[in-house]
Chains A and B, each alone.
Chain A
Amino acid sequence: MLKINQVSKTFGDIKALDDVSFQVSDGEFVFLTGPSGAGKTTLLRLVLRELFPDEGEIVLEDVDITKLKRKDIPKLRQKIGVVFQDFKVLPERTVKENVEVALAVINLSRKDWKARIDHVLKLVGLEERGDLFPSQLSGGELQRVSLARALVVNPRIILADEPTGNLDWDTADKIMDLFEKISAEGKTILMATHHKLIINKLKKRIIELSEGKVVRDTGVKKLSPSQNTREASKESMTGSSVSEDKRKSKNFKSKESIKT
């Protein structure tokens, strides 16, 4: 699904990311954690092609997005659902209109809008708030709007940048329950957070960054560049993903652990 391969990014003299490599499989829920300035947001912005890496490749669904032309960036972003710490909802539009905008962006036929909007608003628990403006909503509700907008386009992957950063614990907990629910529906989620309680509670794969480097990956063992290439060619030759198998077994284990 998503492969980050030897990615580096500097801002002047500051090395924001240094030779970062990892893969996220289809349906996986991954926490990207680390202290402030570790490079979490930079990494998400690279995946969104807001920034361009100095080195390395970022492959999303077999497409190296570092090689995308400028005109193809909107198409890439339409495949990605984004949830921000500061919600980034359109203040002059109602909840429903905020969600509608995302559908208009992907140019979905209007006749399909209602069913999709009703579904996501129900999923995030805002079915009764559709006609309210953002100024009439609480922080938690705003984050739900942001999540609904990300989900309504049926994205291939959801990138969440500190989605609970502006919320109190109770509200954050509820938002995380929602993310878990969405993950259970098979969505791939890459979430940047340093909220230890949340990370510990959800027991998902954790990729920890520090000073731009991956210092811990609880899911997949970090591969060397040569291993990375070998793995990729093996995947392309067999047509199946080694990491996918690993993910399935890991997911199974984690589901088991949640049940118990």
Chain B
Amino acid sequence: MVNIHIKSAWDHMRRSPFQALAAVFALTNTFFVITVLSVIVFASNQVIKYFETRPQIIAFLKDDATNERVSDLQNKLESDTRISKVVYVSKEEALEIYKKATSDNPLLSELVSPAIFPASIEVQVNDLVHADSLIGEIKQDEIVEQVGFTASLGSEATLGEVLQKLRNLTLYLRIGGGVFALMLVSTSFLVLIIIIGMRITTRRGEIEILDLIGATPGFIRKPILWEATLYSLIGVFAGWLAGFVVVLYVTPNLVSYFGDIPFLPRDTFELAKLFGLILFGEMFVGLLLAISGSILAVSRVKKR
């Protein structure tokens, strides 16, 4: 048997469908935008993380470099506090990487042998500001043939600039998105207050009767609270679902654009976890809106 307060709230929604739709649409729009923004912020963070964890400096070694000398250089770099990671890539490993990269055209890999690939040491720096000085130092070493960047992305001169641009973009996205989301949340909050306020005004007679037959303030407030909660939950779920569908729809195009960059989790469970977290957060915000909105509306109507 449905709780009398939920039934009461549902009846009020059915009897004024346009007010209910206005509230639900406002909340749906808000949470749709919040869902999409959350995914964009997550994806941009993933892109930054991807670039940040790429080896930024590659020291190609001379063919006559002895193992001992290579080891010395590796140890020297590993002990450097500006460096977070050092990886030695042998000629054979370089060939494997090449084969993997050209797997769609096996002919290319058949014609090459490990001898033509130089061994290298890949270096990842803590902060890109150190990259220039490190490159200069590494170049000084006798066994180093050439030093390269994984930079030169698009028209950017260095990876640092690319990353800085990405960071700025993410920051603007966060600030702009946050402000936009806040505006939408505020609008939804106002719509909710107005609709609940109207509902209380039309229910004034009923509230008076309930008061006279001994209903507690909590009893009188409960259907109002339930109504606001129902608006919020429906709005949150609809907005989240719309956002989820849109993201799933555009993901194939984005995957082909971004290639190897894992801007969204590839694992289904991880993806479900991400959207589950977004839904959970939105439910929390939605409930907060419903509770605070209805309490505020009740107190405002009481003052009149």
Contacts and interface: CB of A to CB of B under 8 A. Distances in A.
Contacts of B215: 74, 105
Contacts of A82: 212-213
A74 B213 CA distance: 8
By size class, the interface of chain B is 10 to 19
Contacts of A102: 213
Contacts of A105: 210, 213-216, 219
A150 to B, nearest CB: 8
A241 B258 CA distance: 91
A74 B15 contact: no
A50 interface: yes
B212 A90 contact: no
Interface residues of A, number: 25
Interface of B: 1, 4, 11, 15, 205-206, 208-217, 219
Interface in A139-189: 149-150, 153
A82 B212 CA distance: 8
Given A104-B219, A105-B219, A76 B11 contact: no
Nearest to A48: B212
Interface string A97-138: 000111011100010000000000000000000000000000
B15 A92 contact: yes
Interface of A: 48, 50, 74-80, 82, 88-92, 100-102, 104-106, 110, 149-150, 153
A154 to B, nearest CB: 13
Given A100-B4, A104-B219, A77 B11 contact: no
B213 A75 contact: no
Contacts of A91: 205
Closest 6 CB pairs of A and B: A77-B214, A78-B214, A74-B216, A105-B215, A104-B4, A74-B214
Contacts of B208: 88
B214 A75 contact: yes
A105 B219 CA distance: 7
Contact of B213 (A50, A77, A92): A77
Given A92-B11, A104-B4, A149 B214 contact: no
B295 to A, nearest CB: 18
Contact of A101 (B11, B205, B213, B216): B213
Nearest to B11: A92
28 contacts: A48-B212, A50-B212, A74-B214, A74-B215, A77-B211, A77-B212, A77-B214, A78-B213, A78-B214, A82-B213, A88-B208, A88-B212, A90-B206, A90-B209, A91-B205, A92-B11, A92-B15, A92-B206, A101-B4, A101-B210, A101-B213, A105-B214, A105-B215, A105-B219, A106-B214, A150-B213, A153-B213, A153-B214
Nearest to B4: A104
Contacts of B206: 90, 92
Nearest to A76: B214
Contacts of B212: 48, 50, 77, 82, 88
Contacts of B217: 74
A101 B206 CA distance: 11
A185 B15 CA distance: 40
Contacts of B213: 77-78, 82, 101-102, 105, 149-150, 153
A179 B212 CA distance: 20
A102 B1 CA distance: 17
A110 B1 CA distance: 9
A79 B205 CA distance: 21
A28 B262 CA distance: 83
A122 B216 CA distance: 29
Contacts of B209: 88-90
Contacts of A106: 214
Contacts of B4: 100-101, 104
Contacts of A79: 214
A260 B259 CA distance: 103
Nearest to A80: B214
Contacts of B11: 92
A76 B216 CA distance: 11
Contacts of B219: 74, 104-105
